[in-house]
Amino acid sequence: MTFPLSRPRRLRRTESLRRLTRETRLSVDQLIYPLFVAAGIDRPEEVVSMPGVNRWSVSAVVDAAGAATDLGVPAVLLFGLPETKDEAGTGAYAEDGIVQEATRVLKRAFPDLLLIADTCVCEYTSHGHCGVVGGNDPDVRNDASLDLIARTALSQARAGIDVVAPSDMMDGRVGVIRRALDEEGFEHVPILAYSAKYASAFYGPFRDAADSAPQFGDRRTYQMDPPNVREAMREIALDLEEGADAVMVKPALAYLDVIRAARDRFDAPLAAYNVSGEYAMVKAAAANGWLDERRVTMELLTGIVRAGADMVITYHALEVARWLR
């Protein structure tokens, strides 16, 4: 008995067939929209290197979050830009800090919107590093930074944040945060750990937006070396052992293999951050007419999900949500 030759192209012939047989589906439910909230401004300020992205005042961020909820985006990620900075980054854990104030305002306006706080101090320190800098040593002191990061997480939880997301890459910070939250009665607050955060060149526009570039040195002693994959698996495993509820790979596009490796090895929820440089490249090329922005954006984000991400943090979130309607 003979069988006719299989022809995969038969299932590609029409859009309806392609939709029915599609293996990976990008959904608005997977999107997290980053928002920059700034003190000392009274109107939105566009970030020049990130067209379409603004810094928002506490009052105006309600409009930005409202646009997300209207489009069905389930979560936003808050970054704070204080009016003043100091050596110890005290604004990160101030009860009247910018993220804390924005959290309270947004919770009142949108009780069902998931609020995630970036839990770090680089936007708040005068030196721009993600922890305590000690004496004559320009490097960040790991253990001395843990209390500062835990205090920040606690302050965010007290303000009503739904999820804390430590992005500092200090060893042991997830365990310290988990203990601090539990001891204060915040057992219900999950930790989304930036577990595999690389020392990437793709962060440039973000540092423009957040005014968080280091004033000396760089972050390569605590963020991961881009060539390493096995190290990322160790970082993720350690964060999960310490109590992380979900983990993240950042950036996304140059690290799809890391996302895939994490998906294959770990059963925890996995986020990927489609970072500012990745966003800016698409915007710049589209502005020059070099590519179809919609098709390229959808292809890139689908690729991130295909690699294994359950959630995608992206500045394209509102556009994608509209396109998916």
**CA–CA distances in Å: residue 169 to residues 32, 109, 262:** 21, 32, 17
Beta pairing class for 140-141 and 270-274: unpaired
Q: Is 250 a catalytic residue?
A: yes
Q: Which tokens sit at 116?
A: 């995630």
Tell me how far apart the alpha carbons of residues 94 and 286 are, in angstroms, rounded to a whole number.
41
> Nearest 5°: CA angle at 70, between 69 and 74?
30
- Say which residue the tokens 């294959």 belong to: 264
Tell me how far apart the alpha carbons of residues 173 and 145 are, in angstroms, rounded to a whole number.
9
Tell me how far apart the alpha carbons of residues 212 and 121 are, in angstroms, rounded to a whole number.
9
Among residues 255, 240, 232, which one has the least CA distance to residue 308? 255
> Nearest 5°: CA angle at 256, between 251 and 258?
85
Among residues 215, 241, 214, 226, which one has the least CA distance to residue 275? 226
- The catalytically annotated residue of 85, 107, 197, 283 is 197
- The catalytically annotated residue of 85, 107, 250, 283 is 250
3-state secondary structure of 29: helix
Q: Which tokens sit at 111?
A: 């009780």
Are the CB atoms for 77 and 65 separated by under 8 Å? no
Q: Is 107 a catalytic residue?
A: no
> Which DSSP string corresponds to 171-220?
TTHHHHHHHHHHHTT-TT--BEEEEEEB--GGGHHHHHHHT---SSS-ST
Are the CB atoms for 317 and 310 separated by under 8 Å? no
Catalytic residues: 197, 250
